[in-house]
Amino acid sequence: MPLTSCPSVLVIYTGGTIGMIKDSETGALKSFDWDHLYKQMPVLESLHCRIDPFSFDPLIDSSDMNPSFWIRLANVIEENYEVYDGFVVLHGTDTMAYTASMLSFMLEHLNKPVVFTGSQLPMGVIRTDGRENFITSIEIATAYEDGTPIVPEVCIYFENRLFRANRTIKFNAENFDAFLSGNYPPLAEVGIHIKYNRSHILKPNFRRLKVHRELDTNVAILKLFPGITPHVISGILNIKGLKGLILETYGSGNAPTDHWFLDLLADAIRRGILIYNVTQCKEGSVDIGRYQTSVNLGRIGVIGGFDITTESALAKLMFLLGRKIEQDQIRELLGQSLRGEMTVD
């Protein structure tokens, strides 16, 4: 149940568009004053919960997001985990899906809501989407039923929909409806009421939170395209220290059948590089062997990623490589759903 009769939430501002307001004198954008949150947004008083702000110093633009920052963010949540009922992370939209996916892997046995949100327009702009995104994220982060949080997982709330974080991508740079979860239904849809899709929300396990801080960044992403040359593929596969490659293939996991292409991949796998097959499509799943153009990928040892997103695949690969476990075990775990990040046939 909530720690007190008045639920509490820690709002963690990392940077991004949502934290900007217009200076009334100059008209220029400046940082929102999170330390005087209730003065800036009096409507928050009606939520009947305690909202405490925490701002990173310095703030970081989401385009500059990096693993060291992910570790700092995980540390803040761990240090405050026993003090708050939920967490809202305010983050720039461009790399929000990467950060939120990574946090889902780093925070093992998470039993409280961690809700990422942001906005396409600054909080201080009249038509901002930030105000509603922020208020609803607070409601979700403090929503308990029968003493248990309704959404005890890392998620992204944006424009009336709550998504599982590691199923989400940013697909639109212009509209308020900026995020998509093509292979998994929303965890909640928001209108007059918040309608939770309870059958698709992870269940709490009531085990002690465990934070994983060791991440290995010796990975790369290779997106296939018609006309790709051996020099391009060889150049990436021969990056010094490379341990894992996310291979963005066509359709349900298809790739060129040229001998030179398969030979390059097979040689890399023999050298110990893990190759993870992820579809370029916004919806759908990798099904190695469904078509002749993917049969050989399975034969040489390429690992199928089912319907995992590229963002989540990157996070998962960095996370598993950072655990310093045997490669056979990593291969096995890449084919399993660890945090609800993919649907395994």
> How big is the chain, counted in residues?
345
In terms of C-beta density within 10 A (0-12 exposed, 13-18 middle, 19 or more buried), how is residue 304 classed? buried
Cα separation, 70 vs 192, in Å, equals: 34
The SS3 of residue 296 is helix
Cα separation, 119 vs 126, in Å, equals: 13
**Residue indicated by tokens 């201080």:** 124
In terms of C-beta density within 10 A (0-12 exposed, 13-18 middle, 19 or more buried), how is residue 147 classed? exposed
CA distances from 216 to 178, 189, 235 (A): 29, 35, 20
CA nearest to 188, candidates 157, 219, 145: 157
β-strand 161-164 against 188-190: which pairing, if any? antiparallel
Note if 17 is an active site residue.
yes
φ and ψ of 239, to 5 deg: -60, 130
CA nearest to 101, candidates 329, 332, 319: 319
Cα separation, 173 vs 176, in Å, equals: 8
Which residue in the list 17, 142, 279, 310 is annotated as catalytic?
A: 17
Cα separation, 88 vs 244, in Å, equals: 32
DSSP class of 99 = H
DSSP class of 42 = G
Active-site residues, by number, are 17
